[in-house]
Structure formats: C-alpha cells, structure tokens
Amino acid sequence: MTRKILGLAALSAVLMSGTAFAQTTVKIGVLSDMSSLYSDIGGPGSVAAAKLAIADFTAKNKDIKVELIGGDHQNKPDVGSQIANQWYDVDKVDAIVDTPNSGVALAVNEITRSKNKTFLVSGAASSDLTGAKCSPNTIHWTYDTWNLANGTGKALVKTGGDTWFFLTADYAFGHALERDTGAVVEANGGKVLGKVRHPLNTNDFSSFLLQAQSSKAKVIGLANAGGDTINSIKQAAEFGIVKGGQSLAGLLVFASDVAALGLPTAQGLVLTETWYWDLNDDNRAFTKRWQQERPGKFPTMVQAGVYSAVTHYLKAVAELKSAADGKAVIAKMKAMPTDDPLFGKGEIRADGRKIHPAYLLEVKKPEESKYPGDFYKVRATIPAAEAFRPLADGKCPLVSG
C-alpha cells in the first residue's frame, strides 16, 4: 500500500544540474499538494520555482550537482510522513521544501529532526513551527499565522472591525490562525463573538455562513486557505453577507485565489502577503521565467519562498561542501545573511524564523486593474522588524534567556 501511495505521489520530473565532476551532490524534494485545494498555492508551481533556483545557482557554482524530485502529500499527515521517511531513508533526499498544510508540516518537522535532515517550510502557516515545535533542522521561510493575524487582523480592528466571528478550517493551520488572530483582535480592544470549524476541502459552506451571519459580528474571519477560501467567499457573496453590512477578512489569501475568484467578487478584500509578483522589476522578471512552465498563472508568495529558500540552502551547502548534516546546514543558513532577487536582504533567527517585510494589500476594483494579474494596491508596508512575532514571545526551546 505504501509503495502504491508513494508511486502515485512522486512526480516524474527530475532535474539534474551541474557537471559530471561535481564535488557536492544534493537531493531536494518538493513535498506539496499537487492535486487538491492547495495545488495552485504550491504544487507544480513550487517545483517550477525550485527548478529556477537550482538553475540560477548551479550556473555560477559548477561544483554543485542537484537532483530535484516532487511528491504529493494529499493533505494527509500519514501520507506526508510516509513520503518523508521514504525520501530520507531510501531515496537519500537531503532536504524537503514547501509543504503547505500545517498538519503535514508538523509531522515532517519531527521526522526531519529525528533523521538530522533539512526542512524548509514555505507553504505551511502554523507559527508553532518557530514556537513550541521549533527544531534545529527546520526554517520557516515565507509567512506564518502570527504574521497574518498582526497584518490583516490588526488593520481591520483599527478601522472599526471590532467584533469577529471565525470560520475556521478544522486542522492545525486553521486553529493556529484563529488563535493568533483572536489574540490580536482582543489585544486591540475588539471581541470575538464566536467561531465555527469546517472540514478541510469543504464544498458547501451554507450552514457555517448562516452561523456567522446570525452572530451579527462586523467581521467574519476566514481562517482557511486555497479552495476553502475561494468557496467560502463565493458563497458569502451569494448569501449577500457583505451587502448586509458584515465584512469578510481573508486571513490567508493568495494571488491564485484572487485569480480564481475574479476581481468583481474579490474586490475590497484586505490581506497580508510577504511577496507579490507585480511589486517590482525583479519579481516581474522572475514571474516571466516561471510562466514559461506555468503559462497563464501568477506565482504566489509560497512559490517565491521556495525559490528563495532553495537559493539560500544551496549557498550554505556550498560553504560546507556537504548537505549530509542537517543541523549543520541549518546553522550555516542562520549564520549567513539572506539575499536573493525576490525577498532582498534578510536574516534567519535562532528560532528558525526567516525575517523580511510584509505588505498589507487590498484587492483592486475591476476598473482599477490595468492588465492581467494586476490584483492589488499596497495599503502599507510592514517593516521586517514588525512583520513577525518577537523572538522572546514564541517560547522556542532553541532560544536561550
């Protein structure tokens, strides 16, 4: 059974870079949702981003040989764990990258620690990955639930959205996002009136939306992602929730979600992201290259994070001339300042949190959008020092003092 699952999960594409005389060989696995509600967030687009990072790095570092494989965790922690064990023990994978779905990521986090490999999280959101569950073998790269809560949640409370009702995906990610956003709401003088939790990959949100509507909360916080966010926003529009005076807070909204919803439905949504394809020339140049494999789509911050994380990982491996000792690789990554075309200069803290700015964005009205993918206007830039939870507040066992 395991062999069958892994056979279905593994992608056929393998990327080999470097020369026949490579001194250092590295094997990276992109573990993602390749076929379900998070596949546009990460999935094949994350594989494409990793390929670009490897190509860019090996073009300048001929003594590094990199093999890339991909696997579909199907949003199931047991499947993700089976793939991770197979990759580490049999396929000799050195690092796993991406992994949207916090339940899967938390499981892989522990497996990676036990086997002294490397885990670079771009897709999963739970802030516990740099809190109680922090690991010397893991870096949390792109965003997290604290970051989202303190971007979107704080902004909405300060502009009058002081009563909230949460519509929450019933697994680790949703619980963490609800928890972190609720704490921000209350810390800024607001009140949480209630919550309801829905199964992952839900098609019918009617009963959940009726509960949110009857709460009379000013803000309905969507603590979900991907296809669940898309479906809940579409059905909220059918229920006339916004027309009735309540606001929707998309606590985790990606460019792929906005594309799926369309601007007439998504307009006015306020959200937090750490990367946007149309923010600057470097991001647009990356997008053009990425679209050669993903025509008609726009990369998400998760996929950009994969590029950035793989780039910095390979720099550390090149310095060490080995990828074998995961703790040593992570320590080297923390010791080196981060710098790449997509996220610019940054750092990695002792708790494994990658630090960079975030952006409070608003989805444009259809008449404001000038070309395909022109989704957002920037309401505020959140400095790197404020974008993520203070180091002392996470209670990470790796942090002394």
Structure pTM?
A: 0.92
Query: Is 50:96 a contact under the CB 8 Å cutoff?
Result: no
What is the mean predicted confidence (pLDDT) over 60-78?
A: 96
Give yes or no: residues 18 and 119 share one domain. Answer: yes
| pLDDT tens per residue, range 169-198 | 999 999 999 999 999 999 999 999 999 999
Q: What share of the chain is helix, strand, coil (3-state, %, to 5)?
A: 45, 20, 35
Give yes or no: residues 342 and 364 share one domain. Answer: no
Residue 33, SS3 per DSSP: coil
| pLDDT tens per residue, range 287-310 | 999 999 999 999 999 999 999 999
Q: Is position 401 within any domain? A: no
Q: Distance between CA atoms of 181 and 230, rounded to whole angstroms?
A: 20
Q: Is position 398 within any domain? A: no
Give yes or no: residues 91 and 198 share one domain. Answer: no
Summary mean pLDDT of the chain? 93
Strands (E), 181-246: 191-198, 219-223
| pLDDT tens per residue, range 141-175 | 999 999 999 999 999 998 899 999 999 999 999 99
Q: What is the CATH number of the domain that holds 156?
A: 3.40.50.2300
Give yes or no: residues 11 and 115 share one domain. Answer: yes
Q: Is 134 left (phi over 0), alpha (psi -120 to 50) or beta?
A: beta
Question: In the prediction, which pLDDT does 242 show?
Answer: 83
| pLDDT tens per residue, range 43-67 | 999 999 999 999 999 999 999 999 9
Q: Is position 134 within any domain? A: yes
Which residues lie below 8 Å from residue 20, measured CB to CB, with a gap of 6+? none
Q: Distance between CA atoms of 301 and 274, rounded to whole angstroms?
A: 6
- The more confidently predicted of residues 33 and 1 is 33
- The parent domain of residue 370 ranges over 146-273+357-387
Q: Among 356, 376, 399, which residue's Cα sits nearest to residue 142?
A: 356
- Number of domain units in the chain: 2
Residues facing 16 on adjacent strands? 67
Other CB atoms within 10 Å distance of the CB of residue 57: 23
Q: Is position 77 within any domain? A: yes
Token pair 């909220």 in the structure block, residue = 236
Token pair 């990793």 in the structure block, residue = 50
Q: Is position 370 within any domain? A: yes
Q: Distance between CA atoms of 133 and 8, rounded to whole angstroms?
A: 30
Give yes or no: residues 224 and 365 share one domain. Answer: yes
Give yes or no: residues 262 and 121 share one domain. Answer: no
Question: In the prediction, which pLDDT does 326 show?
Answer: 98
Say whether pLDDT at 18 is over 60. Answer: no
Q: Distance between CA atoms of 185 and 7, rounded to whole angstroms?
A: 45
Q: What phi, psi does 117 have (nearest 5°)?
A: -110, -165
How buried is 310 (Cβ within 10 angstroms: 0-12 exposed, 13-18 middle, 19+ buried)?
buried
Question: In the prediction, which pLDDT does 11 show?
Answer: 43
Give yes or no: residues 45 and 133 share one domain. Answer: yes
Q: Distance between CA atoms of 85 and 139, rounded to whole angstroms?
A: 19
Q: Is position 361 within any domain? A: yes
DSSP-derived secondary structure for 304-318: HHHHHHHHHHHHHHH
- The more confidently predicted of residues 102 and 14 is 102
Q: Is position 400 within any domain? A: no
Q: What phi, psi does 191 have (nearest 5°)?
A: -140, 135
How buried is 146 (Cβ within 10 angstroms: 0-12 exposed, 13-18 middle, 19+ buried)?
buried
Q: Distance between CA atoms of 87 and 178, rounded to whole angstroms?
A: 33
Q: Is position 397 within any domain? A: no
Which residues lie below 8 Å from residue 147, measured CB to CB, with a gap of 6+? 127, 272, 274, 358, 387, 388, 389
Query: Is 70:155 a contact under the CB 8 Å cutoff?
Result: no
Give yes or no: residues 243 and 351 share one domain. Answer: no
Give yes or no: residues 69 and 210 share one domain. Answer: no
Q: Distance between CA atoms of 267 and 270, rounded to whole angstroms?
A: 9
Give yes or no: residues 177 and 135 share one domain. Answer: no
End-to-end Cα separation, the chain, in angstroms? 47
Last residue of one domain, picked from the residues 316, 340, 356? 356
Residue 32, SS3 per DSSP: strand
Strands (E), 78-205: 95-98, 118-121, 138-140, 163-169, 191-198
Lowest mean pLDDT among 243-247, 319-323, 381-385: 243-247
Amino acid at 235: Q
Give yes or no: residues 138 and 45 share one domain. Answer: yes
Give yes or no: residues 194 and 259 share one domain. Answer: yes
Q: Among 340, 283, 290, 289, which residue's Cα sits nearest to residue 313?
A: 340
Q: Distance between CA atoms of 258 and 376, rounded to whole angstroms?
A: 9
Distances (CA, A) of 43 to 32, 57, 100, 147, 251: 5, 22, 9, 23, 21
Distances (CA, A) of 129 to 125, 176, 396: 8, 11, 9
